[in-house]
Amino acid sequence: MAARRTREFVYWSTQLLGWGLYTATIVIWNHLQGGFDPGSLGAVFSVFAIGVGISHTFRSIIRRQGWLRLGIGPMVLRLLPGSFVLGLLAFALQASINDVFLTHMEPILPAPPMELLSLVLNWTVLLLLWSFGYFTY
């Protein structure tokens, strides 16, 4: 029982630390570029919350479907589309939150298609990297 609690503690600690570092990097990068507006903290927090929520959902899928027992080939064949589908979901959540609730920010959905695709791919790559980290743990 204590080992399980320790494992859960490590999982949640790395989840919060990882997504916290990612969002802190966004804030620092934007500040260094001279474009950080304190009013955008809501958008940064939404990225943090979406990242934690979607990656935790991915973990639940991985565990429930028994992907941890698969070989590398079958596992990658599931992680790639899984990351893409959840990347689409994360993008949809981010765009919805931004465009509906953070009205002081520039809307996401009217952006050019290539910009929208880059946001989806960003989430996809983040979730793919997250899943590789999860499997190595």
CA gap 12, 32 in Å, rounded = 30
Structure confidence by residue, pLDDT tens digits, 19-57: 999 999 999 998 898 877 878 899 999 999 999 999 999
What percentage of residues in the chain have a pLDDT greater than 90? 83
Which has the closest alpha carbon to 39: 108, 116, 120, 101? 101
Each residue of 82-97: pLDDT tens digit? 999 999 999 999 999 9
Q: Where are the domains of the chain?
A: 2-136
Q: What is the model's pLDDT at position 37? A: 80
Buried b (16+ CB within 10 A) or exposed e, 56-77: eebeeebeeeebeebeeeebee
Q: Which two tokens stand for residue 35?
A: 């474009």
The residues, any chain, with a CB within 8 Å of residue 44's CB and separated by 6 or more, are 23, 26, 27
Burial class (CB in 10 A: 0-12, 13-18, 19+), 103: exposed
CB 104 within 8 A of CB 32: no
Per-residue confidence at 6, pLDDT binned at 50, 70, 90?
A: very high
**DSSP letters for 35-62:** ---GGGHHHHHHHHHHHHHHHHHHHHHH
- Whether the Cβ atoms of residue 45 and residue 20 lie closer than 8 Å to each other: no
